A = this chain, B = another copy of it.
Amino acid sequence: MKPDNLRIVILAGGSGTRFWPLSRTNFPKQFLDVEGRGESLLRGTLTRNFPLVDASRVFVIAGEKYRDALAKELPELPPANFIFEPMGRDTAPAVALLTLYVALKEGPESIVAILPADHVISPREKWQSALADAARLAEESSAIVTFGIAPTFPSTQFGYIESKPGEAKTSSGLSAFDVSAFREKPDKATAEKYVAGKRHFWNAGIFIFRAKTMLDELRNNAADIIEPLEAAAEAYAKTGGLEMLREVFPTIRKTSIDYAVMEKARNIKVIASDFAWDDVGAFDALRGLRERDEAGNVVEGPALLHKATDSIVLAKSGRKVILAGLDGVLCVDTGDALLVAPADKPELIKEIALRLKSEGCEEVL
């Protein structure tokens, strides 16, 4: 079941401090082996598609500073399948650029799947089956197809996809709906209504479409974004040179594909996903992704937990880490920095990053 015209585009440009000190300015979350299975999130985003595509059909966009790290993580990709942004401009310019590039290299009828590089999805068989369904649906319907995640709680941290009544079935039997609206992160009361109404899904930022479909939507809804990128994409496709992109990219509006296109496009479908999905927003996500000991602790590396419960200990420096007599503590030990904080307060980690910056400790950021 290898869809002939499927191409994968991985958005690997994300940064973020929520996994500090594991993640760093030059080593963001997508490079971390979050699941502890010997594979970074980025590499997992590649390999989970392998039965559906060859490496030659996978494209990646990320910041230029990650060039070496990307080549190391994804050695099977041809060099021409990487595009480097001179700076992050959110997802709309990245999707526009890559869709242009894939259309030029692989043809405008190619089915493109846009995948964030820093999510966990399992099991892989379900993902592959769902993606094949989505590719087929995108081809047959000329819609932009998304995966919707059934919300398990009224999160105010995710955008929501509102579906229309009227269920269809995909080839493998998943439920598919027409989309009536994309909703930005709601307040608590609204989120509760969404969950109660059972018509809303979490937006996982995964989009599958015919290249031509997305290019049309971009031209209709975000011409200021796509037009300056056309020549740059062509130049890169012809010469592999990034000069034009470096010139153009900083002038482009910084915005998300959700805002630039998805909230305006008319033909969108959502497939209710049956795979498990986690955007791994903070360290406490490890509690759902890793094995826990009988006291509820997540432990990696040479650690000894003594009368400690519901804690997360990542001993990455090789040193012996002892956590004793504490509950719900996060302890991350790396070669040059150590973090000890409550496991359920990710906001503190952002604050710490700001303080380290303001106190001139950039060398550990």
Which residues of A pack against B, CB within 8 Å? 21, 304, 306-307, 315, 319-326, 329, 331, 333, 335-342, 345, 348-349, 351-352, 355-356, 359, 361, 364
A336 contacts which of B304, B319, B338 (Cβ < 8 Å)?
A: B319
Could you tell me the distance between the alpha carbons of A339 and B331 in the complex, rounded to whole angstroms? 10
The answer to whether B341 and A333 touch across the interface, beta carbons within 8 angstroms, is no
Are A338 and B319 neighbours in the complex by a CB distance under 8 Å? yes
Contact between A348 and B307, CB atoms less than 8 A apart: yes
Q: Specify which chain B residues have a CB less than 8 angstroms from the CB of A307 in the assembled complex.
A: 348, 351
Which of B320, B326, B349 touches A329 (beta carbons < 8 Å)? B326
Contact check, B324 vs A341: say whether CB atoms are below 8 A apart.
Answer: yes
For residue A99, give the distance in angstroms from its CB to the closest CB of chain B: 41
Q: How far is the CB of A187 from chain B (nearest CB, A)?
A: 25
- The answer to whether B355 touches A341 (Cβ under 8 A) is no
In angstroms, Cα B337 to Cα A315, docked, is 10
- With beta carbons under 8 angstroms apart, the residue of B320, B322, B341 that contacts A341 is B322
CA distance in complex: A325, B331 (Å):
12
* Chain B residues near A319 (CB-CB < 8 A): 335-338
Residue of B nearest to A334 (CB): B319
Complex CA–CA separation, A330 to B319 (angstroms): 17
Q: How far apart sit A229 and B248, CA to CA, in the bound complex (Å)?
A: 90
Known: A307-B348, A352-B304, A355-B306. A340 touches B324 (CB 8 A): yes
B352–A336 touching, CB < 8 Å: no
| B340 A326 Cβ-Cβ under 8 A | yes
Residue among B323, B331, B335, B356 making CB contact with A304, cutoff 8 Å:
B356
Contact B329 A340 (CB under 8 A): yes
| Bound form: Cα–Cα A361–B322 in Å | 12
**A338: chain B residues within 8 A (beta carbon):** 315, 319-322, 331, 333, 338
A-B contact pairs, 16 of them (CB 8 A): A304-B352, A304-B361, A315-B338, A319-B336, A319-B337, A320-B336, A321-B337, A322-B356, A324-B339, A324-B342, A324-B348, A324-B352, A325-B342, A326-B340, A331-B340, A340-B340
Q: How far is the CA of A14 from the CA of B29 in the complex (A)?
A: 48
Min CB distance A272 to B, Å, is: 38
Q: How far is the CA of A336 from the CA of B352 in the complex (A)?
A: 25
| B contact residues around A352 at 8 Å (CB) | 304, 306, 322, 324
With known contacts A320-B361, A335-B319, A361-B320, A325–B341 Cβ distance under 8 A: yes
Residues of B within 8 A of A359 (CB): 304
Q: Which residues of B contact A323 (CB under 8 A)?
A: 340-341
Given A304-B356, A306-B352, verify A341-B361 contact (CB < 8 Å): no
